[in-house]
Amino acid sequence: MDSRQLRSLRRRSRLRVDRQWLLSLTAIVVLVGLLEVFTPAQASTVAPATSLASPRGFSDTMKSIRPIRGQRSPAHGILLKDLTTGRTLYEFQADRRLSPASLTKIMSALVILEYGNLEDAVTVSRTAATARKIRLRLRAGQVFRLEDLLKAMLMTSANDACLAAVEHVAGAEERFVLLMNTKANGLGLVDTHFTNACGFDDPAHYTTAEDLATLSEIALQHPIFKAFVREERDIMYAVNGGRFYYLRNTNRLLGRLPGVEGVKTGFTSKAGRCLIAKVSQNGNELLLVLLHTSRRWNTAASLINFGLQALEDGAGAMP
C-alpha cells in the first residue's frame, strides 16, 4: 500500500470515529431533553432538592423549596398550618370537597373513643372478616380487645379491624356512621359527610383539607389517639387462640423525618394518595394535610421543611 492509499484510509477512519462521536453526542442531548420534559419535578409546585423516594426509602438530607406559582399543584387539596399560632403557611383548594380514603378513620377513632370501652372483648363478625382492601385477615369468631382493634385501624389502616370495632360500638356500621356525621356537625365540619366508617369511595363520602385539619387537631388532644398514631410497630394478640398480628404503621415519615408524630395515611383509586402529618421540631409544630397526591412522601417532606424553615425565619403566611 502506497502513502496516498494509507492517508486515504486514515482519513476515512477518522471520519467514521467523528461520525460515531457525533451520533453519541446527539443521543445524549436527546436523552437529556427527554428527561427534562418528563421529570416529575415539573409536575409539582414543590420540587424537593433531594428525593425521598430512594430504593431504600428516604435520603438523609432534604431541603424545602418554596412552591412555585404557575405550576401544577402536587395535590388536589393542601393545607399547611402552624399549630402554635393557627396561621396557614400554605394552602391549595383547602375548601374543596374530596374523597378522604382512610383519613376517615380519624373520625371513626374519635367516635370509638367516645362511645366504646377499650377494655371490651370484641368478637370479629363474618362481615368484618371479609372486609375489602387493606386488612389483617382476621378470622370470624376471633376475639380482640377493642383497644387493639383501634390501634390496628390507625396504624395499619386495617378495614377488618375497623369494621369489627365499629360493629361492636354501635351494633351496625349504619348506626355508627350516624354518630360520625352527628359529631362532624357538632364540630362545625360543614363540608364533611360520611357514608361508611373505613373510607371507601362514595359520591356522598367527602371532606376537605380544612375540615380534616380541624378534626386532626381535636383528635390529637386525646392522649390515646396521639399515642397510637405515632407508634411505628406493635403486635396484636387474639384473646382466644393466641394468634398474633404484626402491626406496622403505614406512615413512612415516622422515624425517617425528624419530629413526625403521626397522623394518618389513606389511599383509594378515587381519593389518590392522602396524608395528614403532625411535626414538632425546635418548639415549632406543623400540621400538613395532603389530599389526592401522586408523590406523597416527596411532596410532604418538601412542604414540611418549607414550613419549618419559614417558622425559623419568622416568615408570615404565604401568598
The catalytic residue positions are: 102, 105, 157
- The set of cell numbers assigned to 247 is 402491626
239: Cβ contacts below 8 Å, ≥ 6 apart: 121, 143, 144, 145
Task: Show the beta-strand stretches assigned E in the chain.
Answer: 75-82, 88-92, 121-123, 143-145, 233-237, 244-248, 260-268, 272-281, 284-293
Q: What is the CA radius of gyration of the chain?
A: 26
Report which of 289, 304, 222, 245 is spatially closest to residue 75, judged by C-alpha positions: 289
Cα–chain center distance at 262: 10
What's 8's DSSP letter? H
CA–CA–CA angle 145, 150, 155 (5° rounding): 125
Cα–Cα distance for residue pair 157/151, rounded to 1 Å: 9
Q: Which long-range contacts (CB under 8 A, 24 or more apart) does 67-71 make?
A: 67/303, 67/306, 67/318, 69/45, 71/42, 71/43, 71/44, 71/45
Report which of 293, 258, 294, 264 is spatially closest to residue 276, judged by C-alpha positions: 264
Cα–Cα distance for residue pair 45/65, rounded to 1 Å: 9
